[in-house]
Structure 1
Amino acid sequence: MVEKFSKNFFLYLSKNKVLNKGAKKWGLKLGAAQVVAGVSIDSVMKTVKHLNDKGLVCTVDHLGEFVLNKEEAVESTQVCIDTLEAISATGVNCNLSLKLTQLGLDIDRQLCIDNMHRILEVAKKTNNFVRIDMEDYAHYHVTLEILDELQKKYDNVGTVMQAYLYCASKDLENLKGRSLRLVKGAYKESTDVSFQSKEEIDKNYLAIIKQHLLNGSYTAIASHDHEIIENVKRFCAEKQIPKTQFEFQMLYGFRTELQEKIAAEGYTMRVYVPFGKDWYGYFMRRLAERPQNVSFALKGLFSKK
């Protein structure tokens, strides 16, 4: 009961625009610096280089969720382009992740699509890949529609499937052969569209991972759950699925020893590295996922730095 209240509380806070605005003034306080790699492209490139040196590959995400006008969407698009160019210039092993709302989806759908075309052209030119992060269910279907439209022209773009959605397995069939990141899901959704219990979500998560792998599709397993990770390793060994067909993904700042262990075993281990001033919503969802993460906030709050 306490854990459920904690999750709902932090998810509620994550959508508070007033607190998000204030968070930009606070800087990376409340422990966020432990899970967000600075606010600039230079700072995140240094972090990525450090992770690469440890045998880890990365994907970076310029955080931004409360985009309210065309100018902000264009600015976010330019940061994505600048980030791709910085990745190319520094030679780090890194992809780009982004959210469609960041590019203006809630303002104008065509604006968002045009911005994605600009980004994907640069990604194509620099031989890179762009992952569209899946947002809440209100944006689910339009994200898949835009992905389908983009993939008619580009083969360097993919998205995310969330295991807590009832429709995940069915929609996965329509995405056969496409590169997908598979996650449990981090938003609060109603019983009309999603599983609610951890047991049901975990069961469906393993099921869609195996489904996508058996379809011969490239699969990114984004989880910090060591039991699920070991289950996937055994399954791939039994089915003789090559390590080149899948990768594991974890968030920057979490389970770093396990990340390095997986990489040392010869698996691709990709670290999701967020950066930027708009860190508030991302950080609140991390606190919602695991009550233990609240310790990050307490350490940051009482830090003298």
Structure 2
Amino acid sequence: MVLRPMFLYLSKNKVLNRSAKRWGLRMGAKQIVAGVTIDDAMTAVKKLNEFGLVATVDHLGEFITSKEEAIESTTYCIKTLEAIADTGVTCNLSLKLTQLGLDVERELCYENMRKIVGRAAELGNFVRIDMEDFAHCQQTLDILSTLRREFPRSVGTVIQAYLYRAKQDIYDLKGVNLRLVKGAYKESPQVAIQSKKQIDENYLSIIKQHLKSGSYTAIATHDHVIIQKVKAFCRVEKIPRSQFEFQMLYGFRKELQEKIAAEGYTMRIYVPYGTDWYGYFMRRLAERPQNVSFALRGLLSK
């Protein structure tokens, strides 16, 4: 896609990100971002639950540059976990370590993350650490490793199939609850596969690898071909449905989401919310050409 590099570049523009907070959910963003408050997110999740879908919510946050911002984000994540418990929705939490101060100070980030995962453990919930760009990959896995010594069942992360290191990471993370994705950031040929065909092949390969190890696997894709191949593989290998789930993004392919849930599979929807929606939205536009027309329809409908 010719526009992909442009949208990925725009996703990192701090000036536009600050402006977007003042715009509100524009450019079609409200179709794929549940709202700006915790109540908005809980309302969206309740509706998903009514259709047999479970969820993971993400309080969007990027470009955290101070200790105060990181602590504020931590507090919001804990409040979100408590709102999930209070409302009784079927939902867990996703977050990014840069939200919690990873680029400010590693120890600050770890302590913030420990508070969040500790609260999740108390509430019987689960926290997914979203994977960011390659520069943050090893730091993320190191923090995950430390957290799992204390909270082995309450935290997991994401592995991106386009990274050359993915297969080794899957091997090293046997037994860890992982979300597997193709990858959404622009990375250099030195660290990431560039061919779509090869990324798809590696994606299916690491899915099978993690499933065959007996590890819980979240397959996050809108690719119906991959989904059908995973279903067939699990039938042949007699992998129980309790060992895996499918995941999709809020606002996309609603009919397919409900169809998969109706077939008896766990279908989890990634529900982003918050004022800091701009970077997330730009990355979604970068992923698929269809998303650009989707956004333009939303903008022109104002």
Using the size of structure 2 for normalisation, the TM-score is 0.99
Question: Aligned partners of 2:238 and 2:299: how far apart in 1?
Answer: 48
> For 1:152, what is the secondary structure of its paired residue?
helix
Runs of 4+ in 1 over 4 A off after TM superposition: none
Which amino acid counterpart does residue 268 of structure 2 have in structure 1? R
CA contact (8 A) 1:97 1:133 kept: yes
Q: Number of residues paired by the alignment?
A: 301
Question: Aligned partners of 1:85 and 1:287: how far apart in 2?
Answer: 32
Question: RMSD over aligned Cα, in angstroms?
Answer: 0.6
Equivalent position of 1:111 in the other structure: 108
Alignment partner of 1:33 out of 13, 30, 33: 30
Whether 1:120 aligns to 2:117 is yes
Equivalent position of 1:161 in the other structure: 159
Whether 1:152 aligns to 2:117 is no
1:301, CA displacement in angstroms? 2.2
Per-residue CA deviation, residues 44-101 of structure 1 (Å, 9 max, x unaligned), is: 0000000000000000000001101011100000010000000000000000000000
Alignment partner of 2:50 out of 46, 50, 53: 53
Which amino acid counterpart does residue 91 of structure 2 have in structure 1? C
> For 1:68, what is the secondary structure of its paired residue?
coil
Unaligned runs of 5+ in 2: none
User: Which aligned pairs between 1:211-250 and structure 2 lie closer than 5 A?
Assistant: 211-250=209-248
Equivalent position of 1:203 in the other structure: 201
Question: Aligned partners of 1:259 and 1:171: how far apart in 2?
Answer: 29
CA contact (8 A) 1:14 1:285 kept: yes
1:292, CA displacement in angstroms? 1.1
Alignment partner of 1:67 out of 55, 64, 69: 64
Which amino acid counterpart does residue 278 of structure 2 have in structure 1? Y
Per-residue CA deviation, residues 245-279 of structure 1 (Å, 9 max, x unaligned), is: 00000000010000000000000000000000000
CA contact (8 A) 1:177 1:215 kept: yes
1:299, CA displacement in angstroms? 2.0
Question: Aligned partners of 1:293 and 1:212: how far apart in 2?
Answer: 30
Equivalent position of 1:278 in the other structure: 276
1:43, CA displacement in angstroms? 0.5
Which amino acid counterpart does residue 38 of structure 1 have in structure 2? G
Per-residue CA deviation, residues 189-231 of structure 1 (Å, 9 max, x unaligned), is: 0000000011000000000000000000000000000000000
1:291, CA displacement in angstroms? 1.2
1:303, CA displacement in angstroms? 2.5
CA contact (8 A) 1:77 1:115 kept: yes
CA contact (8 A) 1:30 1:296 kept: no
Question: Aligned partners of 1:66 and 1:254: how far apart in 2?
Answer: 26
Unaligned runs of 5+ in 1: none
Using the size of structure 1 for normalisation, the TM-score is 0.98
CA contact (8 A) 1:32 1:296 kept: no
Question: Aligned partners of 1:184 and 1:220: how far apart in 2?
Answer: 12
Alignment partner of 1:268 out of 247, 266, 281: 266
Equivalent position of 1:129 in the other structure: 126
Alignment partner of 2:173 out of 154, 175, 187: 175
1:115, CA displacement in angstroms? 0.2
Which amino acid counterpart does residue 259 of structure 1 have in structure 2? Q
Equivalent position of 2:296 in the other structure: 298
